[in-house]
A = this chain, B = another copy of it.
Amino acid sequence: MDIQPLLYYISNYVTLTPEEEDFLREHVIVRKYLKGQYVLQQGDVCKVSSFILKGCTKMFYIDKDGQEHIIMLSVEDWWTSDIASFIEQQPADFNIQCLEDTEMAQFQYSNIDHIFEKVPKLERLLRKVTERGLAAAQKRIIRNFSMTAKERYLYFRKTYPKIEQRIPQYMVASYLGITKEFLSKIKGQLALED
């Protein structure tokens, strides 16, 4: 597959010349993963920042009791990486695993400075994407504090209607920070209400 979705995505932020597009094409790795494959495992260093061309991934953390907590569910046109591990090149706290067969366009840590130097617009792009990510993370922290589990579920359903259909319900529960049993109960309640 071509990186066309990435080029289209980039065009929402900055305008690249044909030469810059070619440069990008040459410096980005397109990689395919099968459902279930890991893009990153807790403890390894995150060497790439990945843009999803097609497919779906979860980023999750295994806590000291062995429980899985999903930080992020990503589909087409989203980025995924353990950013702390990527920027510091330290062992990752998080895992990234494909929930479907997935194709990604990957920026490598090893040449990202070179890419930014040659095409400063891409640094601007990454800054903007990261700013949006931070804004979203802050709002998520607030939602987790100020909304009940039911309210968070309804927000999730409204905001990401397409993601819910693609993944098992227990992963939605994990993303919402509740048990699968409690989400099941919430869905039961909602079914009665309508």
Contacts and interface: CB of A to CB of B under 8 A. Distances in A.
**Tier of interface size on chain A:** 35 or more
A161 interface: no
A191 interface: no
Interface stretch (A1-9, A17-25, A103-111, A130-138): A130-138
Contacts of A136: 84
A150 B67 CA distance: 19
Interface string A1-45: 000000000000000000000000000000000000000000000
Contact of A130 (B61, B67, B131, B145): B131
Contact of A127 (B127, B138, B146): B127
